[in-house]
Amino acid sequence: MTCPNPYPGLRPFYLEDADFFFGRESAIDDLLTRLARTRFLAVIGSSGCGKSGLIRAGLVPALQSGLLASAGSRWRVATLRPGRNPMGSLSRAMEDALESEGRLQETLDRTSLGLIDAVRQARLNSSENVLVIVDQFEELFRGQSRESRDEPIAFVRMLLEAASQRESPIYLVIALRSDFLGECAAFRGLAEALNDGLYLVPEMTRDQLRSAIEEPAQLNRVSWSPLLVHRILNDIYEHPDYLPVFQHALRRTWDAWVKDGAEGPIGLQNYESAGGPESLDRHAEEIFASLDPAQKDLARKVFQCLTETGLDRRVSRRPARMAELTAMTGAPIEQVREVVARFRGAMLLTPGDLSPESVCDLPHESLMRLWRRLAHWIVEEAEDASIFRRLSETAILHSEARASLLHGPELQAAREWIALRQPPEAWALRYGGDLRQAIQFVEASDKPGWRLFRRT
């Protein structure tokens, strides 16, 4: 018997997974109650608590089923992540939701009422509603400078204007990591809106987790061994990343059961062969071990490009276009495609396709904590970034006659770092430095005339 795997693994649940989304029924009811009261709903929780899945596979299907009686069952849904261009992301999402043939960017950019105007111009049926979902809302706070704050401020103001009126049928839902909650106070009016529409995602109980294990399989007339269900609950219930660990282990265990013939209940031997609670780390290591040495080095660079350590030491995902990965790793796009495809096939990376403009991303932030090798790479990247920033800043100070040349161990360390890392210019630009100036500074410090690696 061959059955489709009903467990999404590390990626979030999407709308198309709604039939297999179990265990969150009470949370969905709570969201509907709050959304009936306020048109701005903030779903808050730690990384890995299931915010995205709760919204996409729980709340949205409930709305489309007419469970928000005051609004009906007809919904246009615009889902986006702010990224580095929140207004552009909103424009693209709204164009898809409203099936607009024209460009909405000009309408959104015109005033803080741009979102309201865009919906009004779409001339929707009187029974239709618009739901705007802003996932990963914390992306607004990353990498901000005084000059780059204008667009996030305009974006937030537009959302708040749309949520505060009742003439247009616009509802807004954001998903926000709880450790970024304090930063919302920097946006005028956002803290007040959050206080009114905040929903803190609760942990799932053992009974809810049991439902999430057993009921998706039952839809395919498959059962889990009661002993295994008990074992899984004991293994993951106290784990800080319990939901990602849980879902990836379920997916891998199902695959192991299919590989073993898909006969009888899913049993303990399937779970253990999949790696049990360590299934994610083992899975990633299996993919990594299958690469040749050059591909392993490129995989390190790719994953380092897709993660980011802020000056506050918080680690987060950093989506990047395939073309950007090519520039920052210094590898031909064909080689980048091959490595990305290997991890994409294992659902450990999530590009829509492998074209130069396709955005590559981690399926979930928990991968940065649960894959031990990646956690080490992230620390290594942060150290490299720190070294380069110091070197670049010193080079600038020297050009201004405010710092001396390098010498002794400091010079030796700089030479060895550049020779070892051979950073491309695109990588240096990511950290705000001038690679050529930094290399020339180190070369000038090296009186015997030793010359460093230099890309052409």
What are residue 200's DSSP bridge partners?
A: 44
Q: What mean pLDDT comes out for the span 132-136?
A: 97
Q: Could you tell me the pLDDT band of residue 455, with boundaries at 50, 70 and 90?
A: very low
Residue 419: CB atoms within 10 A of its CB come to 11
Q: Could you tell me the pLDDT band of residue 294, with boundaries at 50, 70 and 90?
A: very high
Q: Could you tell me the pLDDT band of residue 448, with boundaries at 50, 70 and 90?
A: low
Q: What mean pLDDT comes out for the span 363-367?
A: 91
Residue 238: CB atoms within 10 A of its CB come to 7
Percent of the chain with pLDDT over 70: 96
Distance CA 53, CA 96 (A): 21
Question: Residue 26: which of 171, 213, 196, 202 has the closest Cα?
Answer: 202
Confidence check: pLDDT of 262 > 80: yes
**Tens digit of each residue's pLDDT (9 = 90 or more) over 389-445:** 999 999 999 999 898 999 889 999 999 999 998 999 999 999 988 999 999 999 898
Question: Which three-class secondary structure state does DSSP give residue 61?
Answer: helix
User: Euclidean distance between the first and final Cα of the chain, in Å?
Assistant: 56
Q: Could you tell me the pLDDT band of residue 452, with boundaries at 50, 70 and 90?
A: low
Q: Could you tell me the pLDDT band of residue 138, with boundaries at 50, 70 and 90?
A: very high
Confidence check: pLDDT of 361 > 70: yes
The pLDDT value recorded for residue 79 is: 97
Q: What mean pLDDT comes out for the span 310-321?
A: 87
Rounded to two decimals, what is the model's pTM? 0.88
The pLDDT value recorded for residue 1 is: 54
Q: What is the mean pLDDT of the chain?
A: 92
Confidence check: pLDDT of 115 > 90: yes
Tell me which residue has tokens 């709308």: 15
Question: Which three-class secondary structure state does DSSP give residue 14?
Answer: coil
Confidence check: pLDDT of 145 > 60: no
DSSP assignment of 423-441, as one string? --HHHHHHTT--HHHHHHH
Q: Could you tell me the pLDDT band of residue 109, with boundaries at 50, 70 and 90?
A: confident
Distance CA 10, CA 25 (A): 21
- Does residue 228 contact residue 256 with C-beta atoms inside 8 Å? no
Q: Could you tell me the pLDDT band of residue 279, with boundaries at 50, 70 and 90?
A: very high
- Does residue 250 contact residue 213 with C-beta atoms inside 8 Å? yes
**Tens digit of each residue's pLDDT (9 = 90 or more) over 208-236:** 999 999 999 999 999 999 999 999 999 98
Give, as one character, the DSSP assignment of residue 146: T
Confidence check: pLDDT of 172 > 50: yes
- Does residue 139 contact residue 133 with C-beta atoms inside 8 Å? no
Q: What mean pLDDT comes out for the span 148-160?
A: 90
Confidence check: pLDDT of 57 > 70: yes
82 phi, psi to nearest 5 deg: -60, -40
Q: What's the gap between Cα 193 and its chain centre?
A: 24
The pLDDT value recorded for residue 104 is: 86
Q: Could you tell me the pLDDT band of residue 142, with boundaries at 50, 70 and 90?
A: confident
**Tens digit of each residue's pLDDT (9 = 90 or more) over 321-358:** 999 999 999 999 999 999 999 999 888 998 778 899 99
Question: Which three-class secondary structure state does DSSP give residue 348?
Answer: coil
